[in-house]
Amino acid sequence: MKNIVLFGGGNIAQAVAEGLINANFKASNIFYIDRNLRNQKALKKLKIKNLTKYTSTKVDLFILAVKPKDAIDAYKQILNDFEDPKIVSFVAGIKSKKYLKFNQDIQFLRAMPNTSARFNLGITAIYNSSFSKNNLAKVSRLFKKIGIVMDLDNEAKIDTFTGMIGSGPAYFFYLLKSYEKKLMSLCNQDKKKVNAAMVNLIKGVGSSIENNNNLDKLIEAVASKKGTTEAGLKSFKSQKLNKIFEKGISSAIKRSKEISNEF
Ligand SMILES: NC(=O)c1ccc[n+]([C@@H]2O[C@H](COP(=O)([O-])OP(=O)(O)OC[C@H]3O[C@@H](n4cnc5c(N)ncnc54)[C@H](OP(=O)(O)O)[C@@H]3O)[C@@H](O)[C@H]2O)c1
């Protein structure tokens, strides 16, 4: 996949572009089509060019990254303006059959990345609708540059993935707000120090999981009998924090399914 085009160059497209460039994918091989001046500016900063000026460019892959309300029009525009395009849709909610009904021969797949792609720590789910095996492998290699890839064998699983992983970073940011509040007073309102502490906390959690994948063992290693951690965990358990968390995730998955039915 030499030349890729971001059709829609907003939040997620910029995160993916930055991750690709960090991974040595040439910015000169990434193009955009976007009507929003603020996003055009941000893309230019990344040295990504507007496609219209380079119409002779052979496009290997289109990434559809517009909001669901704009997706079908944008998709039709690609079909009208380019011959035999291969299209990856980042769009939440709109099922493959809604796109493929316009032309059954198009190579089309759905991919759901998250914004951690910017730091090459992304998790991208892929559900293949009609890509050839060879091109699917190329797309998979492309997304492996920005993190890990999860192949889904059923399109409905994208809703579960979206509610858990797509939305996932926000759940942790939300939980960290409780830390931020207390750390601010601990660090005499030194926001820089507070941020550094939160980064180490979360990075340390990640590294611990890298070293030992058993979560119960990791908890055991922190909690000692009658200690502070045990007291904290006991309180969480008595209030069924895990059930509350699971309920929140289920609500996000339910919303993703609802959006699927709205389009
Ligand atoms: N944000 C995430 O973390 C994330 C993660 C996974 C998947 N997604 C999916 O990715 C898609 C994009 O999300 P986003 O948050 O990146 O959206 P966004 O920031 O609004 O970016 C979309 C961009 O596409 C432009 N656009 C829309 N239709 C166009 C058209 N016909 N021609 C030219 N430009 C057009 C928009 O311009 P205007 O602003 O003028 O409309 C906007 O600049 C969504 O469908 C979402 O479900 C997002």
User: Would you say residue 19 lies in a domain?
Assistant: yes
* Close Cβ partners of 59 (under 8 Å, ≥ 6 residues apart): 3, 4, 5, 31, 51, 82, 85
Mutate-to-test residue for ligand 1 from 36, 63, 69, 263, highest number of ligand atoms within 8 A of CB: 36
CA of 2 to the centre of ligand 1 (A): 23
Query: Is there a domain that residue 52 lies in?
Result: yes
Separation CA 42–CA 2 (nearest Å)? 22
Q: Residue 68 corresponds to which amino acid? A: P
pLDDT of 260 reads 75
The pLDDT value given to residue 55: 67
| Residue nearest (by alpha carbon) to ligand 1 atom 4 | 12
- Tell whether 95 and 199 lie within a shared domain: no
Dihedral (Cα; 129, 135, 138, 140), 10-degree rounding = 10
Average pLDDT for the chain: 95
- 147 shares its domain with 195: no
Residue 54 has pLDDT above 80, yes or no: no
**Of the ranges 22-26, 150-154, 252-256, which one carries the lowest mean pLDDT score?**
252-256
The answer on 110 and 223 residing in a single domain is no
In single-letter form, the type of residue at position 220 comes to E
pLDDT at residue 53 above 60? no
Total domains in the fold of the chain: 2
Tell me what the mean pLDDT of segment 169-192 comes to: 96
Domain boundary among 133, 155, 177: 155
160: in domain: no
**Is 23 in contact with 29 (CB distance < 8 Å)?**
no
Q: What CATH number corresponds to the domain at position 31?
A: 3.40.50.720
Q: What pLDDT, on the 0 to 100 scale, is given for residue 250?
A: 96
31 phi/psi in degrees, rounded to 5: -125, 165
Looking at the structure, tell me whether residues 247 and 136 fall in a common domain.
no
What pLDDT, on a 0 to 100 scale, did the predictor assign at position 52? 75
**Single residue among 111, 130, 155 that ends a domain in this structure:** 155
**What is the DSSP annotation of 99-137?**
HHTT-TTSEEEEEE--GGGGGT-EEEEEEESS--HHHHH
**Higher per-residue confidence, 261 vs 199:** 199
* Opening angle at CA 26, ends 22 and 32, nearest 5: 100
CATH number at residue 248: 1.10.3730.10
Mean pLDDT confidence for 202-224 = 94
Q: What is the mean pLDDT of residues 141-169?
A: 95
What was the pLDDT predicted at 261?
76
pLDDT tier, 91 (very low <50, low <70, confident <90, very high otherwise): very high
User: Is any atom of ligand 1 closer than 6 Å to the C-beta of 70?
Assistant: yes
**Cα distance between residue 224 and residue 227, in whole Å:** 5
Q: Give yes or no: residues 99 and 39 share one domain.
A: yes
Q: By C-alpha distance, which of 61, 56, 5, 60 is closest to 34?
A: 5
* Lookup result for tokens 């095996």: 133
Summarised one tens digit per residue, pLDDT across range 99-145 is 999 999 999 999 999 999 999 999 999 999 999 999 999 999 999 99
In a shared domain, residues 32 and 113: yes
111 and 231 both lie in a single domain: no
Phi-psi region of 153 (alpha: psi -120 to 50; beta: other; left: phi over 0): alpha
- Residue 82 included in any domain: yes
pLDDT at residue 60 above 60?
Answer: yes
Q: 70: which residues sit within 8 A by CB, 6+ positions away? A: 8
Q: Which of 132, 155, 178 is the last residue of a domain?
A: 155
* pLDDT tops 60 at residue 56: yes
The pLDDT of residue 195 is: 98
Let me know whether 146 and 22 are in one domain: yes
Going by C-alpha positions, the residue among 168, 139, 201, 98 that lies closest to residue 4 is 139
Looking at the fold, whether 122 and 172 belong to one and the same domain comes out as: no
Does residue 161 lie in a domain region?
no
User: In the Cβ-directed half-sphere of 63, how many Cα atoms lie within 13 Å?
Assistant: 26
163 lines ligand 1 (CB under 6 A): no
- The mean pLDDT value for 192-196 works out to 98
* Span of 50-64, 72-86, 158-172, 237-251 with lowest mean pLDDT: 50-64
Q: What pLDDT is stored for residue 57 in this prediction? A: 81
For residue 184, what pLDDT band results from cuts at 50, 70 and 90?
A: very high
Q: What CA–CA distance (Å, rounded) separates 102 from 140? A: 25
For residues 112 and 232, state if they share a domain: no
Domain that holds residue 127: 4-155
Q: Which tokens belong to 42?
A: 């941000």
Domain identity same for 181 and 238 = yes
Is residue 220 in some structural domain?
yes
pLDDT at 210: 93
What the block records as the tokens of 95 is: 């099922």
Our answer on whether the CB atom of 263 is closer than 6 Å to any ligand 1 atom is no
Q: Is the pLDDT of residue 24 over 60?
A: yes
Q: Which residues contact 9 (CB under 8 A, 6 or more apart)?
A: 17, 32, 33, 34, 36, 39, 40, 42, 43, 48, 65
Pair 188, 211 in one domain: yes
Q: What is the mean pLDDT of residues 230-241?
A: 97
pLDDT at 259 over 90: no
